[in-house]
Amino acid sequence: WDLNTVKDKLPEGGKLDLTKLGLGTTSMRVRVGRNLAKYPLPGAMTKEDRLNMEKDMIEAFKKLMKDPAYGGTYYSLTPGTEYSINEEKYKELVKAHIMFKDMADDSYL
């Protein structure tokens, strides 16, 4: 990407501060299953593959969360991880539009 044509429109320092736009907590969904050579594509993954991939990704997420430039929190729906959340927290995050709804609970998904 060449940003030279829009550099006069970029925020100071090249970073967009969403809080200055009146936005609070933002959510980012990270799609990694197609990018890890160690694992098959998601449709061909076993449960064990998915659990192992999450373990590997947690290590990467820990580095990002520790870095002040990124920060954030990782929420896992997988029971037994150090980032697993309970049903109450899950519902809170869904209500805040941070977590996706369970597809089985929404006929539009």
Structure confidence by residue, pLDDT tens digits, 60-92: 999 999 998 888 889 999 999 999 999 999 999
Give residue 27's pLDDT.
66
3-state secondary structure of 8: helix
pLDDT at residue 102, as a whole number: 79
> Minimal CA–CA distance to 38: which of 69, 9, 59, 17?
59
pTM exceeds 0.75, yes or no: no
Residues sharing a CB contact under 8 Å with residue 73, sequence separation 6 or more, in sequence order? 65, 83
Please give the pLDDT value at position 80. Answer: 92
